[in-house]
Structure 1
Amino acid sequence: MTETFATHEVFNQSPPFEDVDLFGLDRPLVDAVAMNQGNGAHADLSAFGHHWGSAQMAARGRLANENTPKLKTFDARGQRRDEVEFHPAYHELMSESVHAGIHNSTWDAQGAPAGAASEVIRAAKFYMAAQVETGHLCPITMTRAAVAALAAQPDLLARVMPVLGSRRYDHGFMPWPEKRGMTIGMGMTEKQGGTDVRSNATSAIRDGDAYRIVGHKWFMSAPMCDAFLVLAQADDGLSCFFMPRFRPDGSVNALQFQRLKDKLGNRSNASSEVEFTGAYAERVGEEGRGIRTIIQMVQLTRQDCAIASAGLMRSGLAHALHHARHRSVFQKHLVDQPLMQTVLADMALQVEASVALVMRLCRAFDEAPSDANEAAYMRLLTPAVKYWVCKTAPGFLYEAMECLGGNGYVEDGILARHYREAPVNAIWEGSGNVMCLDVLRALSRESDAAMSVLQELMMDTAGLTGAAEAAGLIARTLLRPDSERSARLAVELLAKLAAAAALNAVHPGHAELFAASRLKPELGSMYGAADLSAEQGRELLARALPEF
């Protein structure tokens, strides 16, 4: 249908990409979930995909980002409240994610791993939700991950799980034991240290069975969570603490938010600077073992960074391909122009490999408690996958915007928001260099297990172009005495090799295309540089987004 203005008619524009099934239209996702033991959830994921692909959910994502959070430091009577107000659309998104169990479905009622492909199934939902609105997923992922850290304090975990285990979202400002459901945030970094949390100066002073926390955090995301896991220096060293918004007597705890961060992206989600002026907190785990405790949480939030980045790339591809199928240029649809088809097909290949890889990683999280090999895969590959997928996303989304021309660069569409959103996943929960150092640390601490993972990847990629050479280069580089200097190349290759292996289990033909175009460093790095035939290009695009 065309619209007529006084001077022209509106035509040759792509219709909105909404009211679609984000699961059923994504064949690479469907296949990757099935390959990693999640096939039994097909109906559930399809229902989720239909709902989150609706125009209503797209509107909620837009509204939550256009109407950013506001800090209300004092109430009308001048009393300190430190509340953050959100647009109703944000709360609606939170309610939908909580109802779907994205914040707790990987745990049972006692806080133990749920098993039975729960990580894979939950990851598929997280991946689809990220395509609609990523900012609200910050408190969702921290809440889910906090359970891993709270396991170090079983009595506290037992008190929290009945509330955290609920699938009812409750944004009321009240003590968490009185609520129908709760969320948990995290505060680690300080002005002077950033990633170097051992330099934290915030102090924890014992006060009976609890502690009083005095100090600050330079970044504390989702400040309206009901409680936070924070790091502070106790008598025996850096320790982890559970800090609720309210003290046990019902009074507001001494968390004073100084301001909300003015971020490039992630606009729907509030991130704050905070001072603790004797805030009540309970210890989680032993004194002096704060990093060991909190890293259990961080491992899971890093996993979600990779899942979200893959979801953002998928959305960028879907919008670009949808546009190209409807937009005509030089008497042809864009998608039928050879250069554009090659670019889109190469992007589809990247997303297909990325989703295969993150779902394979999630299967390792599912099976790690009972399988030492999967546990080793999880420890070595989590930082490598986060490094590669998250650092790939911003450039990928720029390419997706370019496919739409000027329409991709304006705020009327979703791609500008995705582009601003993408860098945060590479920065938060450990930047690129930190991820590379974590890979080296895994190699040094568990060298036999790590090398066994590499050997398994070699077997899973046997016969793929460039795979053997890539594995050899990875091993030589990571085992060198000065391995840190070349760690980025080796870690990127490690992630690509793992992606080729994961994709080989899902679609061997596309795994060969990926290996041939990604594992040889002399090949071009821009999308469209892969040597794909027209038939291969059409087949990749048909899997990426069936015509409808």
Structure 2
Amino acid sequence: MQTTDHASLYAETHEVTNQAPPLEGINLYRADLPLQEWVRRFGGGWADEHLEAYGKLTGDSLMQAGFLANENKPVLKSHDRFGNRIDVVEFHPAYHELMTAGIAQGITSAPWANSRPGAHVARAASMYLHNQIESGTCCPMTMTYACIPSLRMQPDLAETWLPKILSGQYDPRNLPIGQKTGATIGMAMTEKQGGTDLRANTTRAQPIGAGGPGQAYELVGHKWFCSAPMCDAFLTLAQTKKGLSCFLLPRHRPDGSRNQFYIQRLKNKLGNWANASSEVEYRGALAWMVGEEGRGIPTIIEMVSLTRFDCMIGSSSLMRQALTQATHHCAYRAVGGRPLAEQPLMQNVLADLALESEAALALTMRMGKAIDSGSDEHEKKFARLVTAIGKYWICKRAPGMINEAQECLGGAGYVEENIMPRLYREAPVNSIWEGSGNVQCLDVLRALSKEPGVLEVLFSELGDGHGDAHLTRHIQQIKADFGDTDDIQYRARQLTEDVAVALQAKLLLEAGNATVSDAFIASRIAGHGRAFGTLPRGTDVAALVARATPAG
């Protein structure tokens, strides 16, 4: 007689259906048509095969490493088991895997090791790919990339450090520089009482001998933020008799002993979990002066400019990964028998997100071209201004855009198994790090009012609107707004936003894809709603969504 197995009868409640397949094993470069086009447009097309190879790596094994590095946060070991002070931060192997790959890709060194045309654009594309899968490792790589101009101001120090920085090798061992195959450089500038106001720093530097550029000093003081404290050396600021000066402070002294560099604690942050951000103290730490005494901020300013450029790359890439996740999900998820990506209102949302992502990418890659142009005066002035404009606007747009992309996935976009919560936690850091929004907007005013030729370069770059009546009127309004200096600081954010959108519109127009440029101008300049998904009638949303959806 046959019996019924009640346990098996009720064990299965349902079949899993209507779920998007895992977005795994894709090539993040080949899946991103706008990235390919903008890299080629600004001179980085020669790196296509190199970027394709890294796109495959980031879309596959490194994506998994990104999850592991964030699930296993760095740990501070202040003392060893015998009670000796060691100040070591330990990382999960996935962190080291990510660092190894990024440095081998040339994210820290490629444009300096081979300064061919388009080198900074190609490097920006590599960083754009890497940052989509893990942002915490980007911090030490950014600082290492950005330190080169400052170090080159002090040739005697550069002779020792640059070969290790430019080696393309990641060497995480806690050893003196002479025993390393590669080196990373951090920075430690802000203090509790000053923050962005670096001139309020109280850290003191005392010369050991004669003093001056390239000479040894001992530093006493604290730093409120020191990211990546396991770097091999740090560019830092301290007061001398002649004022705030720049120093290179290594983790080890020349005799191999550890420097008087003490990690007080690791910051418990909203995001950027794989990266160790810390508070540190110098208790007679040995350091060497870089550049002219009393000119610390001018010495380090190009490093700051390059790190701000990487903030643009970082926010742009976070937006792209959020868009990738949203378009992929909506291509498969059906409601009412139709895929979300075919439904008008969702098309409006996705297309709007795609416009925001591509406009951010366009301005970022245009900045890369300006950096590549070296001594060209027009490009130098353009970079001086747009570093602040792009840092403000792109980083400001990222959190809202990523949140809207999360919403496309519904509740699944809020669960940590998905990458979206991590993208959202990462989104605010770039608007805060290296100067918050107000700092950037005031810097825009400073550049336009105090640096000859910058305003002229801006309007030369914008041109006459390139035949678009909406953009023409917008540019004319910007000119009138800058001509009115009453309460201009009060209006600095609005002015910066207007210039940023004008530059993005101009770049999209010049690229020649009318579907993209017309939709951007109609929504961002001619006027649209206050939320994403409010594109005007007549927008070819299906084409915009198709352009943004991963191509495989």
Normalising TM by the smaller chain, what interval? over 0.9
> What displacement does 1:5 show?
6.4
Pick the aligned partner of 1:380 from 378, 385, 388.
Answer: 385
Aligned length: 536
The aligned runs of 1:80-99 (5 Å cut-off) are 80-99=85-104
TM, length-normalised to structure 2: 0.95
Whether the 8 Å CA contact 2:319–2:401 is kept in 1: the answer is yes
Pick the aligned partner of 1:543 from 524, 542, 547.
Answer: 547
Distance of 2:537 and 2:221 partners within structure 1 = 57
Matched, 1:437 2:438: no
- What amino acid is aligned across from residue 445 of structure 1 in structure 2? K
- What amino acid is aligned across from residue 416 of structure 1 in structure 2? P
Matched, 1:505 2:506: no
The aligned runs of 1:257-406 (5 Å cut-off) are 257-367=263-373, 369-406=374-411
Distance of 1:195 and 1:143 partners within structure 2 = 21
Pick the aligned partner of 1:211 from 211, 217, 230.
Answer: 217
Higher mean C-alpha deviation, range 18-27 or range 402-411 = 18-27
Q: Which has the larger radius of gyration?
A: 2
- What amino acid is aligned across from residue 443 of structure 2 in structure 1? D
Pick the aligned partner of 1:222 from 222, 228, 246.
Answer: 228
Whether the 8 Å CA contact 1:464–1:512 is kept in 2: the answer is no
Pick the aligned partner of 1:234 from 234, 240, 244.
Answer: 240
- Structure 1 unaligned regions, length at least 5: none
> What displacement does 1:8 show?
0.9
Whether the 8 Å CA contact 2:76–2:90 is kept in 1: the answer is yes
Aligned to 1:134: 135
Distance of 1:58 and 1:50 partners within structure 2 = 10
Distance of 1:17 and 1:450 partners within structure 2 = 45
- What amino acid is aligned across from residue 139 of structure 1 in structure 2? P
- Which deviations, in whole Å up to 9, do the C-alpha atoms of 1:231-289 show, x marking residues without a partner? 00011000000000001111100111110000000000000001110000000001100
- Which deviations, in whole Å up to 9, do the C-alpha atoms of 1:157-188 show, x marking residues without a partner? 12211111111110000112210000000001
Change (3 A) 1:93 1:192: same
Distance of 1:465 and 1:219 partners within structure 2 = 47
Matched, 1:150 2:151: yes
> What displacement does 1:547 show?
4.9
Pick the aligned partner of 1:452 from 444, 448, 457.
Answer: 457
SS in 2 for 1:59: helix
Change (3 A) 1:507 1:350: farther
- What amino acid is aligned across from residue 155 of structure 2 in structure 1? P
Aligned to 2:167: 166
Whether the 8 Å CA contact 2:381–2:453 is kept in 1: the answer is no
Matched, 1:526 2:527: no
CA-atom RMSD, angstroms? 1.4
> What displacement does 1:508 show?
3.8
Pick the aligned partner of 1:476 from 471, 475, 480.
Answer: 480
Whether the 8 Å CA contact 1:188–1:231 is kept in 2: the answer is yes
TM, length-normalised to structure 1: 0.96
Pick the aligned partner of 2:424 from 419, 435, 438.
Answer: 419
Change (3 A) 1:81 1:532: farther
Distance of 1:76 and 1:166 partners within structure 2 = 34
> What displacement does 1:106 show?
1.4
Whether the 8 Å CA contact 2:66–2:98 is kept in 1: the answer is yes
> What displacement does 1:414 show?
0.1
Whether the 8 Å CA contact 2:466–2:509 is kept in 1: the answer is no
Whether the 8 Å CA contact 1:13–1:327 is kept in 2: the answer is yes
SS in 2 for 1:314: helix
- What amino acid is aligned across from residue 347 of structure 1 in structure 2? L
Aligned to 2:6: none
SS in 2 for 1:248: coil
